[in-house]
């Protein structure tokens, strides 16, 4: 049960993954660099303090002149204040900008995900997407705040510290340098193993989020079957897997810590032995030894921090990988917004002004070249035309036949066509091609003579309104939910749509049309949701209307009322209605029967009842006798 389609072991180097953050860091690079510079200075100021200390020990203290301690002590105080101030400045510099980087990465992810094709969302569990938008991005923010800066700062501090040590006494300095080489080797060995574990842990956390999400969204099924215990077991198993990976990470960390703490200390111990001997021999002053050891101890933090800085950077690198995996998925290219696709009569659209500025999310620098236009539409609108439309899902197994193998269908302008066919034959898929939720893999679909592939999606979707099989309401008011079918629709249009779909119950809600519905609001029954979704589809008096089994959740009485009102709407639009029952079919002028990936017959209800045994079977449920 893989929930994440791309469990590829990350072969990319962590550095390259992290470099991809550049575009997001660029706007704040000045502050980030300034912060790094300030931190480096502050850190080096900390290194100067032991030198002053040396002056105090070797000077006033050794000579029994306590009065002479004041100036150096003042210097220590000054340096200390500078250090404190600088560290504060460094944090202040990046506090807001880096929170901004995280936010803009999240906004971009959200924006991108909204525009990715539906087939992408079919493949990706939303828990995996969510964990990228939250946990992974906060890892990246914290990485920019601390580890990134301190990898640099600590490296510089280390180098400066070593120079100071060497300049004080080259022999002792060299002793301290000795463990560097083994440390580098061990760290890089550790790094590769840790990176794999880090990635695994993040993926497992994403899977866990998916289980949580499904357990909440499917709570009714779980409760109906008393399955919460087996769900809990599944969750338990997955969280144990995550725990195992986290423990693996901890073991790797423990090992590297042991090395990072021990090696430098052993070197300091050796330096102490050599230094003490040389002080005894009079080759070295006591003050130099004190200063040397103070400096060496001050360098411990930069070295020790290496372990978790590397670990954190690896976490961040795989978080970046996970982020860009999604961001790299291309959105389907959109037709240019040429602005003169107006040969399609845009009859009922009331909210044009709100949308004209949109370019479908991909800003375009200059006016793109005009695509070759289809022949001008005939003066009389042509309606919807499917010509040899083929479709297969991008992830369909090889060798399996296409779902749609050449659909030819013409819905005349103003006509209502019912689409019928056996369960699972591709009716819903066919309707999803019209607003280009999926892209046809062959053939073409024209609206009033214009190929939909040449219409900008945004514009296309304004022309085509859809009521889905599953009525989804968003967390917003009734008014907003309905009006999203036609931004800017007036109150009158709204009321008319509600009346058409027999959704007048909305006026009786606690706050009337301003009642919050959807997940965060008042829960409505399936029938109520379906009627609001229908109102949403018809409110803009769309030129083209797609209704997917629009009356399934309604009781007989309501269904009859909706049918009556819907007829008036359908009279003015070109519509495709997926129908499961005769009552819905009767809304249509003609019926198209979809079977084996094609339209096998088109005709009126009664014609098909007479001529098509398959149709008769669909409508009556009785297997017709073989003739």
Partner 1 sequence: MTTVTEPPEEDGSALADGRPAQTVQAPEAPHREPARSPGTPPPAAPDDDTDEHPSPPGVSRALLGSLLRPHKWRTALAMGVILLQQAAVLAGPLLVAFAIDRAIPALRRDDSGPLIAVVCVYIVCALASGLLQALFIRVSARVSQDVLLDLRGRIFRHAQALSLDFHERYTSGRIIARATSDVDALRELLSEGLEELIQVALSAVYISVVLLALDWELGAAAAASFVPLYFIARSFRRRTREVYRRTRTAVASVIVRFTETMNGIRPVQAFRREEANDKEFHRLNSAYRRANGDSALEMARFVVSARTMANAVIAAILVWGAYRVADGGLELGVMAAFVLYLRRLYDPVDRLGMFLNSYQSAAAALDKIAALLANRPAVPEPRQPVPLPAPQGEEPGREVVFDGVRFAYREGVEVLPRFDLKIPAGQTVAVVGATGAGKSTLAKLLVRFYDPTGGRVRLDGVDLRDLETPELRRGVVMVTQESFLFSGTVAENIAVGRPDATREQVEEAARAIGAFDFIAALPEGFDTDVRKRGGRISAGQRQLVAFARALLADPAVLILDEATSSLDIPGERAVQRAMHTVLAGRTAVIVAHRLSTVEIADRVLVMDAGRIVEDGRPAELIGGTGRFATLHRAWRDSLV
Q: Which of 30, 77, 177, 571 binds partner 1 (CB under 8 A)?
A: 77
Candidate ranges 81-89, 338-346, 382-390, 488-496; the one touching partner 1 (CB under 8 A): 81-89
Of the candidates 424, 345, 414, 406, the residue with the CA atom closest to the CA atom of residue 590: 414
Q: How far is CA 567 from CA 44, 501, 570, in A?
A: 80, 11, 5
| Using rule CB under 8 A, residue 217 touches partner 1 | yes
Candidate ranges 20-28, 211-219, 321-329, 441-449; the one touching partner 1 (CB under 8 A): 211-219
Map the footprint of partner 1 across residues 150-189, applying CB under 8 A.
Answer: none
For residue 151, how many other CB atoms are within 10 A of its CB? 19
Provide, rounded to whole angstroms, the least separation between the CB of residue 564 and partner 1. 12
Q: Which of 25, 151, 160, 289 binds partner 1 (CB under 8 A)?
A: 289
Map the footprint of partner 1 across residues 341-370, applying CB under 8 A.
Answer: 355, 358, 361
Q: Which of 152, 265, 408, 439 binds partner 1 (CB under 8 A)?
A: 265
| Using rule CB under 8 A, residue 268 touches partner 1 | yes
Map the footprint of partner 1 across residues 291-330, applying CB under 8 A.
Answer: 293-294, 297-298, 301, 308
Q: Which of 33, 44, 193, 215 binds partner 1 (CB under 8 A)?
A: 215
Q: Which of 363, 622, 625, 627 binds partner 1 (CB under 8 A)?
A: 622
Site string for partner 1, 530-569 (x = CB under 8 A): ---x--x------------x--xxxxxxxxx---------
Map the footprint of partner 1 across residues 450-479, applying CB under 8 A.
Answer: 458, 461-462, 464-466, 468-470, 472, 474-475
CA 245 to CA 241: how far, in whole Å?
A: 6
Cross-strand partners of 405? 390
- Pick 19 or 99: Cβ nearer partner 1: 99
Q: How far is CA 262 from CA 20, 156, 250, 300, 364, in A?
A: 35, 22, 18, 11, 57
| Using rule CB under 8 A, residue 283 touches partner 1 | no
Which helix (H) or strand (E) segment is 26 a member of? none
- Pick 62 or 571: Cβ nearer partner 1: 62
Provide, rounded to whole angstroms, the least separation between the CB of residue 290 and partner 1. 4
Question: Contact 80/104 with Cβ under 8 angstroms?
Answer: no
Q: Which of 33, 44, 51, 115 binds partner 1 (CB under 8 A)?
A: 115
Number of H helices, E strands in the chain: 23, 12
Of the candidates 193, 197, 25, the residue with the CA atom closest to the CA atom of residue 102: 25
Provide, rounded to whole angstroms, the least separation between the CB of residue 447 and partner 1. 15
Question: Contact 476/518 with Cβ under 8 angstroms?
Answer: yes
Of the candidates 177, 193, 197, the residue with the CA atom closest to the CA atom of residue 256: 193
Angle, alpha carbons 431-384-529 (nearest 5°): 40
CA 112 to CA 326: how far, in whole Å?
A: 8
Q: Which of 20, 187, 213, 495 binds partner 1 (CB under 8 A)?
A: 213
| Using rule CB under 8 A, residue 402 touches partner 1 | no
Provide, rounded to whole angstroms, the least separation between the CB of residue 565 and partner 1. 16
- Pick 412 or 581: Cβ nearer partner 1: 581
Map the footprint of partner 1 across residues 19-48, applying CB under 8 A.
Answer: none
- Pick 18 or 52: Cβ nearer partner 1: 52
Provide, rounded to whole angstroms, the least separation between the CB of residue 133 and partner 1. 6
Provide, rounded to whole angstroms, the least separation between the CB of residue 190 and partner 1. 12
Q: What is the dihedral of CA 152, 156, 162, 165, to 10 degrees?
A: -130
Question: Contact 59/68 with Cβ under 8 angstroms?
Answer: yes
Burial annotation 296-321 (CB, 10 A radius, 16+ → b, else e): bebbeebbbbbbbbbbbbbbbbbbbb
Provide, rounded to whole angstroms, the least separation between the CB of residue 49 and partner 1. 8
CA 438 to CA 431: how far, in whole Å?
A: 9
Provide, rounded to whole angstroms, the least separation between the CB of residue 22 and partner 1. 20
Q: What is the DSSP letter of 441?
A: S
Question: Contact 321/10 with Cβ under 8 angstroms?
Answer: yes
Q: Which of 365, 520, 625, 627 binds partner 1 (CB under 8 A)?
A: 520
| Using rule CB under 8 A, residue 518 touches partner 1 | yes
Alpha helix (H) residue ranges in 133-217: 137-145, 147-168, 170-177, 180-217
Provide, rounded to whole angstroms, the least separation between the CB of residue 97 and partner 1. 8
Q: Which of 258, 345, 364, 571 binds partner 1 (CB under 8 A)?
A: 258
CA 219 to CA 225: how far, in whole Å?
A: 10
Provide, rounded to whole angstroms, the least separation between the CB of residue 280 and partner 1. 4
Candidate ranges 162-170, 186-194, 207-215, 489-497; the one touching partner 1 (CB under 8 A): 207-215
Secondary structure of 554-604 as H, E, C letters: CCHHHHHHHHHHHHHHHHCCEEEEECCCHHHHCCCCEEEEEECCEEEEEEC
Residue 416's Cβ-side half-sphere holds a number of Cα atoms within 13 Å equal to 22
Q: Which of 106, 200, 385, 543 binds partner 1 (CB under 8 A)?
A: 106
Tokens standing for residue 226: 């008393």
CA 593 to CA 599: how far, in whole Å?
A: 6
Provide, rounded to whole angstroms, the least separation between the CB of residue 155 and partner 1. 18
Question: Contact 572/415 with Cβ under 8 angstroms?
Answer: no
Map the footprint of partner 1 across residues 222-251, applying CB under 8 A.
Answer: 222-233, 235-236, 239-240, 243, 246-247, 249-251
Provide, rounded to whole angstroms, the least separation between the CB of residue 547 and partner 1. 12
Candidate ranges 316-324, 332-340, 378-386, 421-429; the one touching partner 1 (CB under 8 A): 421-429
């Amino acid at each position: 049960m893989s929930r994440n389609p791309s469990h590829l072991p990350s072969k990319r180097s962590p550095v390259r993954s992290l470099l991809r953050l550049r575009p997001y860091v660029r706007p704040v690079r000045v502050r980030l660099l300034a912060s790094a510079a300030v931190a480096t200075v502050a850190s080096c100021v900390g290194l100067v303090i032991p030198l002053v200390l040396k002056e105090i020990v070797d000077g006033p203290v050794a000579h029994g002149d306590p009065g002479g301690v004041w100036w150096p002590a003042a210097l220590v105080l000054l340096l200390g204040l500078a250090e404190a101030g600088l560290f504060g400045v460094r944090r202040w510099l990046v506090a807001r900008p880096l929170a901004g980087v995280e936010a803009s990465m999240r906004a971009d992810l959200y924006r991108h995900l909204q525009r990715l094709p539906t087939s992408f969302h079919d493949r990706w569990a939303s828990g995996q997407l969510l964990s990228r938008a939250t946990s992974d991005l906060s890892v990246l923010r914290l990485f920019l705040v601390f580890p990134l800066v301190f990898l640099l700062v600590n490296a510089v501090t280390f180098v400066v510290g070593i120079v100071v040590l060497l300049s004080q006494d080259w022999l002792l300095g060299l002793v301290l340098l000795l463990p560097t080489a083994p440390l580098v080797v061990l760290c890089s060995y550790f790094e590769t193993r840790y990176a794999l574990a880090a990635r695994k842990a993040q993926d497992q956390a994403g899977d866990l989020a998916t289980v949580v999400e499904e357990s909440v969204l499917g709570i009714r099924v779980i409760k109906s079957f008393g399955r919460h215990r087996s769900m809990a077991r599944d969750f338990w198993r997955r969280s144990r897997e995550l725990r195992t990976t986290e423990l693996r990470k901890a073991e790797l960390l423990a090992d590297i810590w042991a090395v990072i703490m021990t090696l430098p200390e052993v070197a300091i111990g050796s330096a102490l032995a050599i230094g003490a001997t040389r002080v005894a021999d009079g080759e070295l002053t006591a003050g130099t030894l004190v200063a040397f050891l103070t400096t060496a101890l001050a360098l411990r933090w930069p070295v020790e921090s290496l372990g978790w800085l590397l670990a954190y950077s690896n976490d961040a690198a795989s978080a970046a990988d996970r982020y860009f995996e999604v961001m790299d998925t291309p959105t389907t290219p959109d037709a240019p917004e040429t602005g003169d696709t107006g040969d399609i009569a845009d009859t009922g659209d009331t909210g044009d002004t709100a949308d004209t500025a949109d370019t479908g999310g991909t800003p375009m620098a200059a006016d793109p070249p005009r695509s070759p236009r289809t022949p001008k539409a005939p003066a009389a609108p042509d309606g919807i035309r499917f010509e040899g439309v083929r479709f297969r899902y991008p992830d369909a197994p090889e060798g399996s036949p296409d779902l749609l193998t050449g659909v030819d269908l013409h819905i005349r302008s103003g006509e209502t066509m019912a689409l019928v066919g056996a369960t699972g034959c591709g009716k819903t898929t066919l309707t999803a091609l019209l607003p280009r939720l999926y892209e046809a893999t062959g053939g073409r679909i024209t609206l009033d003579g214009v190929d939909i592939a040449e219409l900008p999606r945004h514009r296309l979707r304004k022309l085509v309104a859809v009521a889905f099989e599953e009525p989804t309401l968003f967390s917003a008011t009734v008014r907003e939910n309905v009006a999203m079918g036609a931004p800017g629709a007036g109150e009158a249009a709204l009321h008319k749509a509600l009346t058409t779909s027999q959704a007048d119950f909305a006026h009786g809600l606690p706050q009337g049309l301003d009642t919050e519905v959807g997940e965060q609001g008042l829960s409505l029954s399936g029938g109520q949701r379906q009627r609001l979704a229908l109102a949403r589809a018809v409110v803009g008096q769309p030129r083209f209307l797609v209704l997917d089994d629009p009356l399934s959740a309604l009781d007989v009485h309501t269904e009859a009322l909706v049918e009556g009102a819907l007829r008036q709407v359908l009279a003015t639009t070109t519509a495709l209605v997926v129908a499961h029952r005769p009552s819905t079919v009767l809304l249509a002028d003609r019926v198209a029967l979809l079977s084996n990936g094609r339209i096998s017959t088109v005709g009126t209800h009664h014609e098909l009842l007479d001529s098509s045994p398959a149709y008769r079977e669909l409508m009556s449920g009785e297997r017709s006798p073989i003739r």
